[in-house]
Amino acid sequence: MGFKLNITLLFVLLFRASYAEGQSTVFDVKKYGARPDEKTDISQALLSAWKEACNSPTPSTILIPAGIYLLGAVKFEGPCKAPLKLQVEGTVKAPADPAQFKGSDGWLTINRLNQFTMTGGGLFDAQGKFAWSKNDCAKTGKCSSLPTSFRFNFINNSIISDITSLDSKLFHVNVLGCNNITFQHFNITAPDESLNTDGIHIGRSNGVYIIDSHIGTGDDCVSLGDGSKQVKVSNVTCGPGHGISVGSLGRYPKEEDVIGFRVVNCTFTNTMNGVRIKTWPASYAGVASDLHFEDIIMNNVGNPVLIDQEYCPYNQCTKSQPSRVKLSNVSFKNIRGTSSTPIAVKLACSSGFPCEGVEIGDINLVYHGTQGPVKAEVSNVKLKVSGKMIPALP
C-alpha cells in the first residue's frame, strides 16, 4: 500500500515540476563567471547561482549549459523558498587528485530541500581512476578518505533523472534521511575494478524509487543501509558490480530496522552476486523484513540468490558467534538465467536467529561450468516452496 501511495505522489510531483518549468526563472552559471574550458573551477559561480535561485520566491532553474566544466567540492544548503531545478546539459569534471577533496566527504552535496529536480542529460565525471589506487579499505576496513560523488541529505519529494555518473572515487550516490525521492533514467558507469564504488547507497530514508536505469560499477549496484524503508528498484540493469544488496547490517549498535524492499523486472549481467541479503556474524541486534525479489534475469552471475548471515569482508569479525539480525517475510520468485558458480541458490541464515517467512519459487538457474552440477544450499530456515525449482532444494 505504501508503494502505491508514493507512486501517486510522484505523479503529482511530476505535474508540479512541469508546471514549475514553464514558470521558472533561469540562473545560467555562465552569467556568474563559469567557463567551459575544463580549467576554471566553477564552484563559486555555481554557489552564487544557487544562492540567488534558492532565495527566489518563485520556482527557479540553475542551468549548466553544454560544454565541459571543472568543479571542486560544493555543498548546497536548503531549505529554499520555492521548487528548484538543477538543469545540467554539459559535462562536469572533478579534480582527479583526491587530495583536492581533503576535509570533504562529497563532491556534490545537497542538503535539506523539498521539491528539488536534477535533470538535463548531463554527465558528472569524477575521474576516479587515480583515487582507486589510493583506496586502502581492504587493509583498514575504513573507506572514508575518498569523496562520494553525490550526497543527497534530507531531500524530500524530489526527482533525479537523465543524469550520468562516471568513475566515482568512492560511492556514486549516498541517500540519507530522504523521503519520496526518485532516480529515473539515472546511469552509473565505472569499471569492475573500481573499488568501493557502490552505485546508489540508501540509509535511513523512506520511499526511494530507482527505475528505468543502468548501473555498472565496482561494488553493489544498489545497497540498503539501516533505516531504509519502502524502497523499490524496477527495470534496472546491473553489471558489472556486486549485485543488489540489503546490508551489510548489524555491524554497528543502534541500527534502525530495514522494512519494505522490492526488486522487480531487473537484469543482472556478469555480476559477482545477484540479489542478496548480508548481515555480520557476532552482530548487534536488528531487523530486516518485507524483502521481495521477483521477475529477475541472471546472465552469468555469481551467487544469483543469496542470504549471507556470515558476511565477513576483510576477515574482521568473529564467525563463531551468530548474527543477531532477524530476517523475516522474504521472497524470491521467478528468477531465471545462468549462474557462473555451481551454488546458484544459497540461503545461509543465522543459527541464533533463524529466518522466518521465507518463500521461494519458479527458480530456473543453470550452470555450465566444470565444477559439478548446479545446486542449492539452505541452512537455518524453513522454506515455503512454490512452482519449479532448478536447482532442487536439499
Nearest to residue 361, comparing CAs of 294, 273, 312, 302?
294
- Confidence band, pLDDT 50/70/90 cuts, at residue 6: low
Question: Which grid cell sits at 357?
Answer: 517467512
Q: Confirm if 27 and 62 have CB atoms less than 8 A apart.
A: yes
Burial of 388 (0-12, 13-18, 19+ CB in 10 A): exposed
Tell me, letter by letter, the H, E, C secondary structure of 326-356: EEEEEEEEEEEEEECCCEEEEEECCCCCCEE
* pLDDT for res 319: 78
**pLDDT in the model for residue 19:** 42
Between CA 339 and CA 159 the distance in angstroms is 35
Per the CB < 8 A criterion, the answer to whether 215 and 243 are in contact is no
Work out the average pLDDT over 196-223.
98
Q: Is the pLDDT of residue 390 over 60?
A: yes
Largest CA distance in the chain: 67
DSSP state of 132: H
- Catalytic residue status for 172: no
Q: Summarize pLDDT for 351-380 with one digit per residue, the tens.
A: 999 999 999 999 999 999 999 899 999 999
> Is the omega angle on the peptide bond into residue 342 within 30 degrees of 0, that is, cis?
no
For 361, phi then psi, to 5°, come to -175, 160
Length of the chain: 394
What is the pairing mode between strands 148-166 and 173-176?
parallel
* CB-based contact 238:215 (threshold 8 Å): yes
Amino acid type, 107: W
Is 329 within 8 Å of 289 (Cβ atoms)? yes
| Contact status, residue 14 vs residue 159, Cβ threshold 8 Å | yes
The pLDDT tens digits of the residues spanning 131-189 come to: 998 776 656 656 557 999 999 999 999 999 999 999 999 999 999 999 999 999 999 99
Q: Which three cell numbers mark 167?
A: 568513475
Q: What ranges do the domains of the chain cover?
A: 2-129+146-390
Q: Per residue in 289-348, pLDDT tens? A: 999 999 999 999 999 999 999 998 877 777 789 999 999 999 999 999 999 999 999 999
Least confident of 193-197, 211-215, 273-277: 193-197
Mean residue pLDDT across the chain: 93
Query: Which CATH number applies to 2-129+146-390: 3.30.565.10, 1.10.357.10, 2.160.20.10, 3.40.1080.10?
Result: 2.160.20.10
- pLDDT exceeding 70 applies to what percent of the chain? 92
Return d(Cα 80, Cα 85) in angstroms, integer: 11
Q: Count of alpha carbons within 13 Å of 234, Cβ hemisphere only? A: 12
Least confident of 77-86, 157-166, 278-287, 309-318: 309-318
Q: In angstroms, what CA-CA distances link 263 with 317, 336, 353?
A: 29, 14, 24
Strands 305-308 and 74-77, sheet pairing: unpaired
Which is catalytic among the residues 172, 201, 214, 242? Answer: 242
What is the pLDDT at residue 184?
A: 98
Is residue 9 scored above 80 in pLDDT? no
- Residue 363 is placed in which grid cell? 527458480
Interatomic CA distance for residues 237 and 341, integer angstroms: 20
Helix (H, G, I), strand (E, B), or coil: what is residue 257?
coil
Of the candidates 341, 207, 213, the residue with the CA atom closest to the CA atom of residue 272? 341
Provide mean pLDDT across the span 249-260: 97
Whole-angstrom CA distances from 221 to 240, 241, 311, 356, 381 are 8, 6, 18, 27, 27
In degrees and rounded to multiples of 5, residue 224 shows phi and psi of -110, 120
In 29-145, which residue ranges form alpha helices assigned H by DSSP?
Answer: 43-54, 129-132, 137-140
Q: Cα separations (Å) of 11 from 5, 7, 180, 231? A: 10, 7, 12, 17
Peptide bond preceding 223 in cis form (omega within 30 of 0): no
pLDDT of residue 5: 45
pLDDT reading at 81 higher than 80: yes
DSSP annotation of 320 reads T
Q: For residue 18, name the pLDDT band (cuts at 50, 70, 90).
A: very low
